[in-house]
Amino acid sequence: MQAPPPTTLPADVRGLLQAARDLGVDRLDAQWLLSHHLGRPRTWLLAHDDHPLPEALSRRLMADLSHRAQGLPLAYVLGEQAFCGLALKVGPDVLIPRPETEVLVDWALDLLPAGLPRQVADLGTGSGAIALALAARRPGLRLTATDASAAALTLARANAARLELDVSFLLGHWWQPLAGQRFDLVVSNPPYIAEGDAHLAALGHEPQAALTSGPDGLDALREIIAGARAHLAPGGWLLLEHGHDQGSAVRQALADHGFGRCETRLDLAGLDRCTGGQRCEGPTRANTP
């Protein structure tokens, strides 16, 4: 049972943490909120539980706690998520960047020697997370990022401007805005959860178009792989994030489209998370009868 809303606003850190407990909000989440709004590290809160909260801040924090109590992910409540050391603005128009996607970024960085002006594309960029992480780590890259959602691109552009990182953003579905362009490396974290998957119930606040893709979750991955050859320079690489049980299907689809050196990398939980391959010359199995 949730406690009724307090009639008076919490006056200090201790009161706010108590109000969070009464609302059933995780203590750590409440501490992150306080730390974010007070501009202090979380450890500081431990020694300052009598720190006064101005009324306006207390009201704002109570509204945030109530959104969190209703299940809004903390990243949306804060409006921010850390990814590869970048503080990215996020909102309900974009998927919240996940730590496992850093596997994809690390693999891309392995393939991008510093100082070379390589052409790189990020398909379905959302908040811009992957493209911006690459831009931050490899100055001089020519980065293009696409998304079919205009609202996502507005947020991604704002992230790029705030972080002073240079990425060209294009509106459109997967390869569609990239006609005639070729890249040395293409990365994507597309939607890959199967429609009706039980695990979607916990992700109801995030854009479904960024999460699900057909009955087996592989529609977007297949579409990206099918169009990749025409957009990769010879020897170029395609790296894709996918579900823990999709590694072999993605390796097979890449091989069918003439990719070599296909390999799957694991996330920190030890699960298949990213598969990549290199464009090889010669006919592809998918194109030959």
Chain residues in the site for ligand GLN (CB under 6 A): 95, 98, 189, 191-193, 203, 211
How many angstroms separate the first and last alpha carbons of the chain? Answer: 64
Nearest CA to 145 out of 158, 129, 161 is that of 129
Q: How far is the CB of 206 from ligand GLN (least distance, A)?
A: 8
Of 13 and 211, the one with the shorter C-beta distance to ligand GLN is 211
Cα separation values, 136 from 83, 91, 119, 124, 268, Å: 11, 22, 15, 19, 22
Of 38 and 91, the one with the shorter C-beta distance to ligand GLN is 91
Structure letter (DSSP) for residue 52:
B
Of 23 and 153, the one with the shorter C-beta distance to ligand GLN is 153
SS3 128: coil
Q: How far is the CB of 156 from ligand GLN (least distance, A)?
A: 15
Q: Which residues of 161-254 form beta strands (DSSP E)?
A: 168-171, 183-188, 232-241
Q: Phi and psi at residue 213, in whole multiples of 5°?
A: -155, 80
Of 40 and 205, the one with the shorter C-beta distance to ligand GLN is 205
Q: How far is the CB of 86 from ligand GLN (least distance, A)?
A: 18
Q: How far is the CB of 243 from ligand GLN (least distance, A)?
A: 7
d(CA 146, CA 152): 10
Q: Phi and psi at residue 60, in whole multiples of 5°?
A: -60, -45
Q: How far is the CB of 189 from ligand GLN (least distance, A)?
A: 5
Q: Are 241 and 145 in contact (CB under 8 A)?
A: no
Instruction: Give the burial string for 107-120 (b: 16+ CB within 10 Å, else e).
Output: bbeebbeeeeebbb
Q: How far is the CB of 84 from ligand GLN (least distance, A)?
A: 15
Q: How far is the CB of 211 from ligand GLN (least distance, A)?
A: 5
Structure letter (DSSP) for residue 148:
S
Of 11 and 266, the one with the shorter C-beta distance to ligand GLN is 266
d(CA 119, CA 112): 10
Of 19 and 221, the one with the shorter C-beta distance to ligand GLN is 221
Residue found by looking up tokens 């854009």 in the block: 207
Of 1 and 201, the one with the shorter C-beta distance to ligand GLN is 201
